[in-house]
Amino acid sequence: MRTSTGTLAFSMGCHAGLSLSDVWITGSDPRSQDWAQAFAQKNGLFAGNTGFGYGDTNVTAYSEKLTLLMTQGVNGTMSVGQAVANAKQQYYATLGAWGVFDAKSVEEYSMYGLPMYVIGATGTVARTTTPPNPPTLTTDADTNLKVDNIAYSGNLYGDRVDTANGSYYKGPNPSAGVVAEQFRPIQPVTAPVDVTQADQSNGRLHGALILSFTRSSVLSFNPLLSVPALAPGSFQPEPRVIDSTFPSGFVSTLHQDTINGSRDTVVAFGGKFVSDQSGQTPGTQLLFSNATVRAYFSTSSDDTIAVISTLSGQDLGATASFALTTRAQDVAAAYITYRLTGSDSFQSTLMTLSRCDGGTCTWVASVNTSTVKVAEYFGQLVTNAGNTSVSTFKAEFGTPLPPPPVPGTVTTSVKDNLNNLITPNGFGWYNDPDQPLKAYVSSNGGTETFKLSVDGGAQVDSPATVSGEGPHTVAYTGTAGSAGHFDVNIDTKAPVITCPAMGPFFLNGAGGTFTATASDPTPGSGLNTAASVLTGTVDTSSVGTKSIFNAVDFAGNSSHCTYSVQYVFSGFFAPVDNPPIVNLSKAGQTVGVKYRLTDANGVGISDTSSFVSITSSPRGTCSGQSDVIETYSGASGLQYLGSGNWQFNWSTPKSYAGTCKTMTLNLKDAVVPTPGAPRTAYFQFK
């Protein structure tokens, strides 16, 4: 090996920095020396791995990334030892997530020689410096902590890169990059934001939350998985993974002592991959943009986060209710971060402390859902010390998902009393009238059996009977350890609608605009005001019974009001007398029934379809003033006499002899008169 005095050599090769004991290999042959000894004898410095060096075929990661950072550090601004330390510190600061291969890459990288040596004749040793451009902190009204609100504009993910084994997004700018963790989808991250405070009276960075952002989705996405490789990727096939969903959070924070002094940095993820199913890599790539991150500072030495025990949401119709529980007693603020249906933007609402009992605190919040529903949500916590925690995404209301089963895949279903498989509507409600419903839980493998409990009741073998209006929760446990729950919300009752006084209305006459009121019976799904129409205008352009208004609940049940548009009826005319006169007639004769129809403006109706029929019904009494019908028509049938005047020749059966009847004229406007009202006449037959 040839080298000159003062040479600095470093390598990412496997075991390049492994020191071999002279007890095992001795002698004067130069080949008996390890690399560190060889360079030391030449007055040089050496840095290398004491174990395997790792890289990734598609991106710069692991030992490759560490070596790149080392190369950037030997620029004369710091000593050689500082360059090694700085490379490790920057490696950690830019990750966003930390894995075992990261730890191995950093731990194995060792330097041999005097660390205070500098690079070049004008090289210097780095010293503690004031952080550049420290942000001005404000006091957060929610927590009373000092905070820095960081706004990320534009996309946080950069351009897409497609390879033979999958695709990834390479980060928003050259100073950013990707997070590559072993056997996980490669994800974009932002460049670290230095939020270090020059004035340490505000304390140091403890944590950060993402309070708003926009999300887009790439479906059927095949992610590129990071593979820590010892050789080119062609020698190492793509791994098969059980669950490649990554990462679990949105923001990563770091406080560390560096060669320039204490530094606080924030890194935001530009995306998140979610597997379609356990054991399958293809899924949905989520991409983030236009994010607002709040970083929390305090002087506390406490770094304990508040663990979220449970998080649940319930659709109550006009509002969505959320409850978060935690055993932490030092929570300063809790947030529900949510996306509404049809929107790609997430926003946050502050929760309030409801109670603390039995060592568990419950935080609650509500969101107005009168016009649009919550599609997704997750919870976030910040402690009094500024430490933060976040839950995973929760499912859309109406398609509730049970917790991940352990260890197999579980299928839940619901059938009605006729054994028909049914599914809830988009708001998560069943309105099937064939009650009761039956809830089923089964294992895809078919070997696991389940016990079910409805609303906390006694456990029964699957299926379980679910009945009664309102929300229900079915919890299940399996013989192989699977456990979870799902919702069976039932609402079969239509909303109650209060109709205003309307009509009657006449053809082509005045109509008007009216308003009704409505409510949904409790316990129901609630009145869906966005889908309900409670103000309407009467249409008099045609006759008949018509519907107006539509009160709809979130289960899809509906109710409405009706109004009648009628003809203006005049008559009857001779030979038929109107009530209360009783017409005396011979059974078996044909009676000419004359009348006139017009619209509200007096225009005669000439439409033959205006006539439907003449019917008769028994009349209990034949008393009253009577008038003998003296003229009869010689033929049956409907005749139009002009100017809205009509005659129908009613052929009476001989069997009517000795009876009393109420004759009713039935028209297209569907008016059903009571005996003695217009359109009816009394008859006594001889």
**Tens-place pLDDT, residues 132-172:** 888 999 999 999 999 999 999 999 999 999 988 889 999 99
Q: In the predicted model, what is the mean pLDDT of the chain?
A: 87
Mention every residue, 6+ apart, whose C-beta is less than 8 A from residue 372.
340, 341, 342, 343, 530
477's tokens:
């446990």
Same domain for 312 and 322, yes or no, is yes
239 pLDDT above the threshold of 70:
no
Q: Region 675-684: what's the mean pLDDT?
A: 95
Rounded distance between C-alpha atoms, residue 67 and residue 74, angstroms: 11
Same domain for 189 and 242, yes or no, is yes
397 pLDDT above the threshold of 50:
no
| Domain-ending residue, one of 88, 112, 136 | 112
51 in a domain, yes or no?
Answer: yes
Same domain for 51 and 89, yes or no, is yes
Rounded distance between C-alpha atoms, residue 520 and residue 531, angstroms: 13
pLDDT band at 236 (very low <50, low <70, confident <90, very high): low
Higher pLDDT, 257 or 409: 257
489 in a domain, yes or no?
Answer: no
pLDDT band at 5 (very low <50, low <70, confident <90, very high): low
376 in a domain, yes or no?
Answer: yes
Domain that holds residue 456: 413-484
Rounded distance between C-alpha atoms, residue 680 and residue 665, angstroms: 6
Mention every residue, 6+ apart, whose C-beta is less than 8 A from residue 473.
454, 455, 456, 485, 486, 487, 488
Same domain for 102 and 25, yes or no, is yes
Mention every residue, 6+ apart, whose C-beta is less than 8 A from residue 277.
409
| Domain-ending residue, one of 566, 590, 607 | 566
CATH number for the domain harbouring residue 677: 2.60.40
Same domain for 164 and 238, yes or no, is yes
Percent of the chain with pLDDT over 70: 91
Same domain for 314 and 459, yes or no, is no
Same domain for 584 and 643, yes or no, is yes
Same domain for 143 and 287, yes or no, is yes
Same domain for 284 and 310, yes or no, is no
Q: Region 54-58: what's the mean pLDDT?
A: 83
Higher pLDDT, 274 or 482: 274
Pick from 354, 364, 351: which is nearest to 321 by CA?
364
403 in a domain, yes or no?
Answer: no
Domains in the chain: how many in total?
A: 6
Pick from 682, 645, 685: which is nearest to 664 by CA?
682
Percent of the chain with pLDDT over 90: 51
461 in a domain, yes or no?
Answer: yes
Beta strands 558-566; 505-506: pairing state: parallel
631 in a domain, yes or no?
Answer: yes
491 pLDDT above the threshold of 90:
yes
- What integer pLDDT is reported at residue 103 of this predicted model? 87
pLDDT band at 440 (very low <50, low <70, confident <90, very high): very high
Rounded distance between C-alpha atoms, residue 258 and residue 299, angstroms: 19
Same domain for 391 and 426, yes or no, is no
618 pLDDT above the threshold of 60:
yes
Same domain for 308 and 379, yes or no, is yes
The Cα-based distances of 13 to 16, 33, 47, 115 in angstroms read 6, 17, 10, 21
CATH number for the domain harbouring residue 355: 2.60.40.10
Radius of gyration of the chain (CA): 41
141 in a domain, yes or no?
Answer: yes
Contact of 605 with 640, CB cutoff 8 Å:
no
Same domain for 202 and 274, yes or no, is yes
| Domain-ending residue, one of 242, 265, 299 | 299
Mention every residue, 6+ apart, whose C-beta is less than 8 A from residue 237.
none
